[in-house]
Amino acid sequence: MRSIRARLLIALIVMVALISLLAAGVTYRRVLSETSTLFDYQLRQMALSLRGQISLAPRIEVPPDQGDADFVVQIWDVFGARTYVSRPGLPMINQTVLGYADLSLQGEAWRAYGLQTADGVIQIAQPARVRENLARAAAARVVVPLILLLPIMVGAVAWIVRSGLKPLRFVTTEVQRRDVRSLAPLGTKNLPLEIAPLVGELNRLLDRLQRAFFTQRAFISDAAHELRSPLTALRLQLQLLDRAPDETARLEARSRLGAAVERAIHLVEQLLALARSEPQESAAEFQLVDISAAAAEGVQDTHDLAMSRGIDLGLDAVPQLQIRGDREGLRTLARNLIDNAVRYTPANGSVQVRTRSAANDALLEVIDNGPGIAAADRERVFDRFYRRAAAQETGTGLGLAIVRAIAERHGARVLLGEAPGGGLHVMVSFPSALLRLP
């Protein structure tokens, strides 16, 4: 059965009914036996009260056959002759038994008490049927209210179950009210101990959801905002192309328009790379990737740019430095780091890429002799769309954010330091857990 409420209701109602019936049964039997004792006591008291009058017995004027009298009183004298019978019309018990006795007369059961006195024997008898009827009536009077209480108890059980489960219904309606726009935590006031942990966990989940949703929304808003700049440049160059007064101006506008298109494409690619580097894919999809090969690919990808700027781009890699990771992501990571270094290093500078293993970690390093990054800025450069002041390069502001996201997916750390010449030294350290076992 799925419903707690139904299960509780059925269990409790069956239990209440059984207990009530059991109690009724026991009470009935107890009342019967108590009543029987009382009747016996009555018989004996009656006999005792007649003891003093036994000598007068023959003279007792008792109207014969008092119709509804249950009791039959008989008195025998010391010689055994019956001197008195209270209801002469009845067939008589001719036994004299002292003390309590169950007698049978013409198939009918009687209860009798015989008392020996100095003048004879007094016997009081009563039909068992009468006793039983009275006892049953008495027992029923006690038991019936008990049975009548049963529906009330069932109602009470239902109410208790209902009100006991009320916090659950409250939580349900509260959760129902939540959607992506309102992920506010649920109220935790006056919650029972059993539900509070559930609500606590729910609230933590809501919090994580809200954060994730907020991050996503901020990302989309940032992305839309950032797209405005290249689009503005595009529209501007297109309009300049339209109104170019001469062939020289047209050629220039055309080439600038091309650059603006390239820039917009680059931004969109970087946005996609960042979206892909969000930690959604599980590490289970990782495959063996050679970090040195990824670095080499990164160098190849940025070779043209380095050449055009006269930058000495070199690679010093140990062969076969394999880790478990995302091949495409690691290539993007290397390319972004090298691209950044090449862009921010002045013409005729140097960018050196290195891979090595140290203390079981696999290291990818990019060292340039550019202006470096001030220690105060080293944390902020990882923020999306953060561009340093006075940067001549119109980067997307996403390169290092992508690097960090990819590194985090691999459990790797990205450290920014100062190169010996004052440039930037970036070190990505992949933990040994990712290393291929020898």
Partner 1 sequence: MRVLLIEDDAMIAQGLQTALRQGGFAVDWMQDGKSAGAALQGSAFDVVLLDLGLPDRDGIDVLRDLRRRRDATPVIILTARDEIQQRIAGLDAGADDYIVKPFDLDEVTARMRSVLRRAAGRGDPSIEYGELRLDPAARTVERNKIPVAVSAHEFAVLEALLQRPGAVLSRAQLEDRLYGWDEPIGSNAIEVYIHGLRRKLGSDAIRTLRGVGYFVPK
Binding site for partner 1 (CB under 8 A): 225-226, 228-237, 239-240, 243, 245, 249, 253, 256, 259-260, 263, 387-392, 394
Q: Which long-range contacts (CB under 8 A, 24 or more apart) does 171-175 make?
A: 171/195, 171/198, 171/199, 171/202, 175/202
CB nearer to partner 1: pick between 257 and 295? 257
Angle at Cα 130 formed by Cα 129 and Cα 135, nearest 5°?
Answer: 100
Q: Please write down the HEC assignment for all residues of 284-323.
A: HHCEEEEHHHHHHHHHHHHHHHHHHCCCEEEEEECCCCEE
Q: Least distance to partner 1 from the beta carbon of 244, Å? A: 9
- 326/300 Cα distance (integer angstroms): 19
CB nearer to partner 1: pick between 218 and 249? 249
Q: Least distance to partner 1 from the beta carbon of 241, Å? A: 10
CB nearer to partner 1: pick between 358 and 376? 376
Q: What is the DSSP string of 188-223?
A: -TT--TTTHHHHHHHHHHHHHHHHHHHHHHHHHHHH
Measured between its terminal Cα atoms, the distance across the chain in Å is 54
Q: Least distance to partner 1 from the beta carbon of 372, Å? A: 17
CB nearer to partner 1: pick between 259 and 296? 259
- 434/343 Cα distance (integer angstroms): 31
CB nearer to partner 1: pick between 51 and 225? 225
CB nearer to partner 1: pick between 253 and 342? 253
Q: Least distance to partner 1 from the beta carbon of 220, Å? A: 14
- 201/85 Cα distance (integer angstroms): 88
Q: Least distance to partner 1 from the beta carbon of 339, Å? A: 18
Q: Least distance to partner 1 from the beta carbon of 277, Å? A: 24
Reading the block at residue 210, the tokens are: 């809200």
